[in-house]
Structure 1
Amino acid sequence: MAELNLHQKLVQIRQEIGVFTKDTKGHGYSYVSGSQVLEKIQAKMNELNVLLYPKMNGIADDVFNYTTSKGNAKTDFVIKGDMVYIWQNADDPKDALEVPWKLYGQQDDISKAYGSALTYSERYFLLKFFNAPTDDDDPDSRDTKGKYGQTSNKASEKQLNFVKKLLEGKINEKNDFNTLYSYLKQSMGTDVDIENWTSQQASQAIKILKGGNSQ
């Protein structure tokens, strides 16, 4: 039997992946844990001698001062930068694939910020690289009385435009709109994009932006 190249091995790894279940909760939302992702592919990676490792490029740290939804002043450390994930065929080390990626993390301790950035980055890299579905992608799993049915509570266009205006007002040499938007979502504890926010989420964002300051 002919020896498999890296791309053929990655296809076989992808075939091991079923539907991921959002098995972990935090900051008010559910997500797929990193351990669940690795458990589904690690055995096949070992069997096929495939390596995955990160390469950092220009990682920067910053400070983000803001006011929580309860009115408390808070300072978080933010890690951001460019990186590359490298797939490598251990049977033929020259057979490798580099995938550019981004790194973001925000915590009240700089070491935790860096650690969470790596964990979050790896988890979503693997999910997106393998086009892995989650249980929310299954129409039969949706609760029509839950978040999928809350159309009446959706943020108004006026609210969302005001959030965007406040973000634009905080743009500086260090932080562009997209970076500030990423910080804001992390401060809110959500990974939901702005166009899908509820009225309560928009109000929370406005409160943070009015009381916070990015340095």
Structure 2
Amino acid sequence: MNIYQKLIEVRKAVPYLKKEDRGGQYSYNSSSQVVAAIREKMDELSLLLIPRIIDKNVLTETVENKDQYGNIKKRTTYFTELTMEYKWIDAENPEEEFIVPFYAQGVDIAGEKGVGKALTYAEKYYLLKQFNVPTDDMDPDQFQQKVEESKPPAPITPEQLEELEKLAERFGEIRNVTKVQVYKAIGVTTEPEKIPEGLAYNLIEQLKHWIKNATKETA
């Protein structure tokens, strides 16, 4: 596989992540949870992910507040911005690379943790967005059920369409009506090609039943 095919395999390995950590009123995915979910597949496919800081910018803001005794307290907030890039390397073919530019930010009071927070923020969100990983509070089984329910119904198969056409034509011959009239009688208000697979099965069985009874009446 080339590097792009390997990245697709990583995406397939993580279809969904439940938000397992909680802070205040919100639940969220931690950086360690996201990395742990993806790393095993990366190792299996010999993929390396190398972060690189290209540029940085640190903004400070000092705010004065009075405590309960009237004393003035100063608090400085450090806002760290990082311009980054993530480089994917296929260890089995080191010449093959895939580079993605990214941006990160981190807020800290003491000042020394701004870069670390920004890197953690970037790592988590880059991986989530790179592999299009959906996240929610529901468990994986509930999520999969929700996905399945949201999918459009499978269209009629070529074999079903061929059988439906033959049966409609056959019943039309028995009753001396057109095929369009037969479709109208069984409730088909659109082109047969657009009928869902499940409905097509029911219509085929209905036509078989009608033809059987009509043949008896004719005999």
TM-score > 0.5, shorter chain as reference: yes
Distance (whole Å) between structure 2 residues aligned to residue 41 and residue 89 of structure 1? 15
Higher RCO structure (Cα 8 Å, ≥6 apart): 1
Task: Quote how far apart the aligned CAs of 1:64 are.
Answer: 2.2
Aligned to 2:31: 34
Q: Is the CA contact (8 Å cut-off) linking 2:50 and 2:88 kept in structure 1?
A: yes
Deviations 1:20-65 (A, max 9, x none): 1111223542211111111111111111100001111111212123
Distance (whole Å) between structure 2 residues aligned to residue 136 and residue 23 of structure 1? 8
**Residue 124 of structure 2 corresponds to residue 123 of structure 1:** yes
**Residue 55 of structure 2 corresponds to residue 54 of structure 1:** no
Aligned to 1:76: 77
Structure 1 range deviating more: 22-31 or 10-19: 22-31
**AA matched with 2:114:** A
| Structure 1 residues not aligned, in runs of 5+ | 142-215
Q: Is the CA contact (8 Å cut-off) linking 2:105 and 2:118 kept in structure 1?
A: yes
| Structure 2 residues not aligned, in runs of 5+ | 146-219
Candidates 2, 9, 14, aligned match of 2:11? 14
Distance (whole Å) between structure 1 residues aligned to residue 48 and residue 63 of structure 2? 40
1:195-206 to structure 2, matched below 5 A, reads none
**1:30 to 1:73, Cα distance in 2 relative to 1, 3 A:** farther
Distance (whole Å) between structure 2 residues aligned to residue 62 and residue 46 of structure 1? 38
Of all paired residues, the percent bearing the same amino acid is 35
**1:42 to 1:92, Cα distance in 2 relative to 1, 3 A:** same
**AA matched with 1:38:** V
Q: Is the CA contact (8 Å cut-off) linking 2:82 and 2:118 kept in structure 1?
A: no
Aligned to 2:90: 89
Distance (whole Å) between structure 2 residues aligned to residue 32 and residue 111 of structure 1? 24
Aligned length: 138
**1:92 to 1:120, Cα distance in 2 relative to 1, 3 A:** same
Aligned to 1:154: none
**3-state DSSP class of the match of 2:18?**
coil
**CA-atom RMSD in angstroms:** 2.9
Distance (whole Å) between structure 1 residues aligned to residue 28 and residue 64 of structure 2? 25
**3-state DSSP class of the match of 1:110?**
coil
1:114-193 to structure 2, matched below 5 A, reads 114-136=115-137
Task: Quote how far apart the aligned CAs of 1:67 are.
Answer: 6.9
**AA matched with 2:97:** A
Distance (whole Å) between structure 2 residues aligned to residue 67 and residue 20 of structure 1? 41
**So what's the TM-score if we normalise by structure 1?**
0.57
Deviations 1:167-189 (A, max 9, x none): xxxxxxxxxxxxxxxxxxxxxxx
